[in-house]
């Protein structure tokens, strides 16, 4: 039996973008990760930045505060890349034969395979997770990234890099819509017009038919309308008690009140946005008497292949989603654009393969 070899596994140093201290991003020279059993080396082609990366930058992320993510931290958890080298046994246990040249997306959560949750098939709830670009595993904002082969999904040829880069946020959206059992005939409200909100609008416009949107930014509301939202509302303006499914994708603490107010009897709320402050004044009795269910959506670890298929089938699009793609060296410009409320689209990306 011939095993694949580590031929072609580069050595030396690489450029990586890191948060070096609170509010400071920087380019570092780091050693290229060495071959390891079951792992492959990937060259990231596009790395999407999101609110979580901003929290890493500002030092407000829970991973930073509880010491799991020490600086310097090479971030980047939403990415597409190309396999450049494969360690000898990296083909086992993945179901996919990975070869140099394959385009792949990486799973953010790397489950341990050995805890109670993993043994019960609930990898999403693993007790010993590592998360790429967050804690326990270098992120993709670098010239190279070493990943376990089992945590990669191969990107079909007809899915563009810009689309593949959006797979990571989209898996959480799909997980949320499954948890709330979104179905044809449901009246859906999406709160938030960032990446998650707009992906939710795209999917629910197909899955349910009738979707409205709540947002605070003109560009985002206009994009949501183009993607199929029937009505666009400012916070507090959507009709009370009207919706079967509400997706809270803004992460703003007061938005949860709006979600609750708009949900009808027997309705379901998918809380996807991560509110960093407590939501005061929530009446649990209101949830009880109206039979409303709230689901906290952690991630969609088992949805990557399905989301790739949705992009392949054109049920999801990257059009209107990406404000700009910048080379790694312009990481601080990328973060500045990500915080500019007037940007034309929610997602800002880095291209670590650009010269
Ligand atoms: Zn993200
Ligand atoms: Zn586990």
* Domains, the chain, ordered by start: 13-166+318-351 (3.90.180.10), 170-296 (3.40.50.720)
Residues 47/76, Cβ–Cβ less than 8 Å: yes
**Residue 161's pLDDT band (cuts 50, 70, 90):** very high
Asked whether residue 40 carries a pLDDT value surpassing 70, the answer given is yes
- In the reported structure, the alpha carbon of residue 113 is separated from the centroid of ligand 2 by a whole-number distance in angstroms of 5
Share above pLDDT 90 across residues of the chain, in percent, rounded to a whole number = 83
- In the reported structure, the alpha carbon of residue 191 is separated from the centroid of ligand 1 by a whole-number distance in angstroms of 17
Asked whether residue 229 carries a pLDDT value surpassing 50, the answer given is yes
- In the reported structure, the alpha carbon of residue 150 is separated from the centroid of ligand 2 by a whole-number distance in angstroms of 14
Structure tokens at 33: 């990760």
- In the reported structure, the alpha carbon of residue 148 is separated from the centroid of ligand 2 by a whole-number distance in angstroms of 15
- In the reported structure, the alpha carbon of residue 118 is separated from the centroid of ligand 2 by a whole-number distance in angstroms of 4
Dihedral angle of Cα 211, 176, 243, 52, to the nearest 10 degrees: -80
- In the reported structure, the alpha carbon of residue 112 is separated from the centroid of ligand 2 by a whole-number distance in angstroms of 4
**Residue 95's pLDDT band (cuts 50, 70, 90):** very low
Distance CA 224, CA 76 (A): 26
Q: What's the whole-number average pLDDT of the chain?
A: 93
Asked whether residue 170 carries a pLDDT value surpassing 80, the answer given is yes
Query: Could you tell me which of 255, 327, 332, 328 has the C-alpha nearest to residue 294?
Result: 255
Asked whether residue 4 carries a pLDDT value surpassing 50, the answer given is no
Distance CA 13, CA 18 (A): 15
- In the reported structure, the alpha carbon of residue 294 is separated from the centroid of ligand 2 by a whole-number distance in angstroms of 25
Residues 196/273, Cβ–Cβ less than 8 Å: yes
């Amino acid at each position: 039996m011939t095993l694949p070899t580590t031929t072609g596994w580069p050595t030396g140093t690489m450029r990586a973008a890191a948060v070096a201290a609170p509010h400071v991003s920087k380019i570092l020279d780091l050693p290229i990760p060495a071959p390891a059993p079951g792992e492959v080396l990937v060259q990231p082609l596009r790395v999407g930045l999101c609110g979580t990366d901003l929290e890493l930058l500002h030092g407000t992320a829970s991973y930073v505060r509880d010491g799991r993510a020490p600086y310097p931290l090479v971030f980047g958890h939403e990415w597409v890349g190309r396999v450049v080298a494969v360690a000898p046994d990296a083909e086992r246990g993945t179901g996919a034969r990975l070869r140099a040249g394959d385009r792949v997306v990486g799973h953010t959560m790397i489950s341990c395979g050995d805890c109670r949750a993993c043994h019960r098939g609930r990898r999403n709830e693993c007790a010993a997770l590592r998360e790429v670009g967050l804690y326990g595993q270098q992120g993709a904002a670098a010239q190279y990234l070493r990943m376990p082969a089992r945590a990669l999904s191969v990107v079909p040829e007809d899915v563009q890099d810009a689309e593949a880069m959006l797979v990571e946020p989209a898996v959480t959206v799909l997980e949320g819509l499954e948890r709330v059992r979104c179905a044809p005939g449901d009246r859906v409200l999406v709160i938030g017009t960032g990446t998650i909100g707009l992906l939710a609008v795209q999917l629910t416009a197909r899955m349910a038919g009738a979707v409205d949107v709540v947002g605070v930014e003109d560009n985002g509301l206009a994009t949501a309308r183009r993607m199929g939202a029937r009505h666009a509302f400012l916070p507090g303006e959507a009709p009370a008690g009207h919706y079967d499914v509400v997706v809270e994708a803004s992460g703003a603490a007061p938005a949860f009140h709006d979600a609750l107010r708009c949900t009808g009897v027997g309705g379901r709320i998918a809380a996807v946005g991560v509110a960093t402050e407590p939501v005061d004044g929530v009446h649990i009795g209101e949830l009880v008497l109206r039979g409303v269910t709230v689901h906290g959506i952690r991630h969609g670890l088992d949805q990557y292949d399905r989301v790739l298929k949705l992009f392949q089938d054109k049920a999801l699009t990257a059009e209107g989603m990406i404000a700009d793609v910048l080379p790694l060296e312009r990481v601080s410009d990328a973060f500045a654009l990500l915080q500019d409320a007037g940007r034309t689209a929610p997602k800002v990306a880095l291209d670590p393969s650009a010269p």
